[in-house]
């Protein structure tokens, strides 16, 4: 009986080990391919646009009283002709004082009162409230904490003509690195930019949308944003673009700055939302994968495969757990976990831009798995405390 129990233990251990290892290794391989591809620069000549397009700039702002005014001032300070862009701020559940201050600026201020607020509802509300007689060429979506340089719209206008597609993504970058969580957020934002955007377009595959700093063909956006139903409206729009066969371009040289979460608990709450959205998108769209491959819609197939990857927070947690636990049970099983753990750290390091590699980088980057794990534990603990209270 003891021999049978012993055999059962080892069989179960091997099964669990490989069930966890295969998706982790697949995710690491995918990240590795595109992190290496991000090291190269695409030769895209960005010519001066022949025409100056008219922009509808939409800024959804849900309880962002502290930062929204800075964003408005930033976008109004453009060197682009002011007659060619309108700024629409959707002030959702913000204070009367904030709304009074915003009303002093030459913008369209909308103050809906949603029972359940989502960014998709704000974008749809803005589109419905735009005057019918005004004609726009480009819809530009920004976040309430985004700050841009004076030539931002000029660069976006040039890039949109160069890309000649329905959507382009600009380069989001952090403007604060004042806490360990914010530094981690800055590093992983840039890793995402390099792997899921720059690395992709270098291999001729569509870039991922980032939720803000995205410019759309206005007519396409007006029609398709109404189809968005969830909090992850950017991923829904991304799916629609790729299903319809449109390439999503990315411009690494057009910067916009945003604030990173300053605490690990807030950062992990955000990551949890993203993970949930990823799972929802996968469940909703996985049925399209065979057809996408058969019709040679490789951008759409890549996106579906991307949603099948293991969330990186979960991946890091599993790698840490298995790398630490297995040596005490059977050392040989741990070797492959050490290899993939080293590989993913190497690929993340490859995808980290030089400007982030300062005196704080090694401390932040190498401690990131432990900070992430502690953030998950503390977030769950706080949630339990709230439920108890």
| pLDDT (tens digit per residue) in 53-69 | 999 999 999 999 999 99
What 3-state DSSP class applies to 132?
A: coil
| Tokens, residue 253 | 């040289």
Q: Is the pLDDT of residue 364 over 90?
A: no
DSSP code string of 17-69: HHHHHHHHHHHHHHHHHHHHHTTS------PPPSS---EEEEEEEES-TTTHH
Residue 121: predicted pLDDT: 94
**287-292: long-range contacts at Cβ-Cβ below 8 A with a sequence spacing of 24 or more?**
288/243
Percent helix, strand and coil across the chain, each to the nearest 5: 60, 10, 30
Residue 367: predicted pLDDT: 59
Task: Give the list of residues 6+ apart from residue 160 with CB closer than 8 angstroms, or none.
Answer: 49, 53, 138, 168, 215
CA distances from 188 to 12, 169, 276 (A): 35, 17, 18
Compute the average pLDDT of residues 182-207. 90
Residue 359: predicted pLDDT: 63
Nearest to 289 by CA among 239, 238, 232, 231: 239
In total, the chain counts a number of residues equal to 389
Residue 344: predicted pLDDT: 93
What 3-state DSSP class applies to 139?
A: strand
Q: What pTM was computed for the model? A: 0.88
């Amino acid at each position: 009986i003891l021999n049978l129990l012993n055999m059962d233990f080892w069989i179960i251990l091997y099964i669990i080990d490989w069930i966890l290892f295969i998706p982790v290794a697949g995710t690491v391989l995918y990240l590795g391919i595109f992190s290496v591809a991000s090291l190269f620069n695409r030769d895209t000549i960005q010519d001066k646009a022949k025409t100056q397009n008219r922009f509808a700039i939409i800024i959804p702002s849900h309880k962002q009283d502290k930062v929204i005014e800075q964003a408005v001032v930033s976008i109004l300070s453009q060197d682009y002709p002011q007659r060619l862009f309108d700024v629409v701020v959707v002030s959702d559940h913000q204070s009367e004082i904030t709304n009074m201050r915003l009303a002093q600026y030459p913008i369209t201020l909308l103050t809906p009162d949603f029972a359940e607020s989502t960014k998709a509802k704000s974008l749809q509300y803005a589109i419905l409230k735009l005057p019918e007689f005004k004609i726009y060429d480009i819809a530009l979506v920004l976040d309430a904490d985004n700050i841009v340089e004076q030539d931002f719209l000029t660069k976006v206008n040039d890039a949109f003509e160069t890309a000649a597609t329905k959507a382009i993504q600009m380069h989001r970058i952090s403007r604060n690195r004042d806490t360990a969580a914010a530094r981690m957020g800055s590093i992983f934002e840039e890793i995402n930019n390099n792997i899921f955007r720059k690395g992709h377009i270098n291999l001729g595959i569509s870039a991922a949308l980032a939720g803000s700093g995205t410019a759309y063909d206005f007519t396409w956006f007006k029609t398709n944003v109404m189809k968005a139903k969830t909090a992850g409206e950017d991923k829904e729009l991304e799916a629609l673009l790729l299903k319809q066969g449109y390439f999503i371009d990315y411009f690494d040289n057009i910067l916009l700055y945003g604030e990173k979460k300053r605490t690990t608990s807030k950062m992990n709450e955000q990551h949890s939302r993203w993970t949930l959205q990823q799972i929802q998108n996968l469940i909703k769209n996985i049925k399209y994968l065979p057809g996408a491959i058969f019709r040679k819609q490789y951008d759409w197939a890549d996106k579906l495969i991307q949603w099948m990857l293991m969330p990186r927070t979960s991946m890091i947690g599993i790698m840490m757990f298995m790398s630490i636990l297995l040596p005490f049970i059977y050392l040989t099983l741990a070797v492959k976990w050490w290899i993939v753990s080293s590989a993913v750290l190497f690929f993340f390091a490859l995808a980290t831009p030089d400007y982030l590699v300062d005196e704080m980088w090694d401390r932040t980057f190498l401690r990131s798995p432990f900070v992430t794990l502690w953030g998950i534990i503390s977030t769950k603990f706080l949630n339990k405390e709230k439920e108890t209270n």
